[in-house]
Amino acid sequence: MAGETFDPWGSELLSDYEHLFSEFGMQRVDEKVLRRVLNANRLWRRGIVFAHRDFDKWLSAFERKEGVACMSGIKPSSEFHLGSKLTAEEMIFFQKEFNAKVFYSIADLECYADNGIPLAESAKTAVSNLADMLALGLSEKNCFVWKQSEEKRVMNLAYVFARKTTMNTLKALYGERNIGLYFSVLTQAGDILLPQLQDFGGAKNVVVPVGVDQDPHIRFTRDIAAKFEAEYGFKLPAATFHKFFRSLSGESKMSKRDALGVITLSDDADSLKKKVSRAFTGGRATVEEQKRLGGEWKKCVVYELCLFHFEEDDKELEERQRRCASGEISCGECKKEVIEKIQKWMKAHQEKKKKLVPKAEKMLAGD
């Protein structure tokens, strides 16, 4: 719907992505861009990463053989869920395919400002979150991880940026918020621009992969980078945006605030079964109708689980579409197959993660 706005801390869905291009000036991930994305994975092939800001310039820098970087972060308020997995996979993709150095912020101060979680508590969650990243494929070799509360350079940048930021700017972007959240916006700008400090080799092309709701942070930080260009030599950070992954109820974006609608990477086989069994589908009212009319996979969260996360093979995905649309398969049978698929993926992931927890602890201790 035209006129919809973003709330980076909320859980609403945008009903239409189209107006983002005309109203907010985002650029499309079109064929021209896609051709330059090496070994495009399912997130790119399937239009899940659908928009960007200056990512074409980032690609040009890579093609000119300039070193490129990728920056993003996690608010360690709870276990990784399928939404956070999307950002993680984008970062790992840039690291692997473009040899981009990964800069990863543990946003523990934002976690306190937004969720009231003390730093000692979020530190434990941060270990688990980082272990998930490692299990998903992050290499610690070309990577710098920090906690906001411990990285003085980020705090200094936040102070510097505050000098050229007015309350009116923050209110226009985020609405009426507490000062802690406003300050966490400045801190995030510090996070995003940290890779361009002299300590890390100076100005460079950095891409920030995020969910589309995080665009206010991107726009704000790009403005800050321009304002401090003369002083610090910053280049405007690029961004790629992925679509929301819906909650299992189909009603809001998957968010840590909605415990029943969220699949976390720590869920056991039983809870996965319970959650997916209750998920919203595009099934018809009766078995007879389903056979006659077919299911509506475009509406279905179970289908989206495969599209976004658990079906790598495009042909298999198309086959699920076909079986659904033709009425060949019931939602009960379909869910059973998808549950087994997810349980298998999760078991392998959790086994890998378990072994990587000590490495995550070491990385966060700065060893």
Residue 89 and residue 321: Cα distance in Å, rounded? 24
For position 295 contacting ligand SF4 by CB under 6 A, the verdict is yes
For position 300 contacting ligand SF4 by CB under 6 A, the verdict is yes
Q: How far is the CB of 302 from ligand SF4 (least distance, A)?
A: 4
Piece of the chain touching ligand SF4 by CB under 6 A; list 17-25, 275-283, 309-317, 340-348 = 275-283
For position 334 contacting ligand SF4 by CB under 6 A, the verdict is yes
By beta-carbon proximity to ligand SF4, the closer residue of 63 and 316 is 316
Rounded (5°) CA angle 199-201-207: 110
Piece of the chain touching ligand SF4 by CB under 6 A; list 81-89, 97-105, 252-260, 289-297 = 289-297
Task: Select the residue interacting with ligand SF4 from 194, 297, 311, 360 (CB under 6 A).
Answer: 297
Task: Select the residue interacting with ligand SF4 from 8, 73, 211, 283 (CB under 6 A).
Answer: 283
Task: Select the residue interacting with ligand SF4 from 26, 123, 154, 329 (CB under 6 A).
Answer: 329
Q: How far is the CB of 333 from ligand SF4 (least distance, A)?
A: 8
**Amino acid code (one letter) for 352:** K
By beta-carbon proximity to ligand SF4, the closer residue of 179 and 293 is 293
Residue 298 and residue 29: Cα distance in Å, rounded? 21
Task: Select the residue interacting with ligand SF4 from 145, 331, 342, 346 (CB under 6 A).
Answer: 331
Contact 290, 269 (CB under 8 A): no
Cross-strand partners of 72: 104
For position 55 contacting ligand SF4 by CB under 6 A, the verdict is no
By beta-carbon proximity to ligand SF4, the closer residue of 73 and 283 is 283
Piece of the chain touching ligand SF4 by CB under 6 A; list 60-68, 108-116, 172-180, 291-299 = 291-299
Residue 61 and residue 203: Cα distance in Å, rounded? 12
Cross-strand partners of 205: 68
By beta-carbon proximity to ligand SF4, the closer residue of 232 and 303 is 303
Contact 5, 174 (CB under 8 A): no
Task: Select the residue interacting with ligand SF4 from 241, 335, 342, 360 (CB under 6 A).
Answer: 335
- Edge-to-edge strands, sheet with 27-28: 27-28, 49-53, 238-242, 205-211, 68-74, 101-106, 143-147
Piece of the chain touching ligand SF4 by CB under 6 A; list 60-68, 213-221, 327-335, 340-348 = 327-335
Piece of the chain touching ligand SF4 by CB under 6 A; list 3-11, 41-49, 75-83, 297-305 = 297-305
For position 302 contacting ligand SF4 by CB under 6 A, the verdict is yes
Task: Select the residue interacting with ligand SF4 from 68, 303, 305, 311 (CB under 6 A).
Answer: 303
Binding residues for ligand SF4, rule: CB under 6 A, are: 281-283, 295-297, 300, 302-303, 324, 329, 331, 334-335
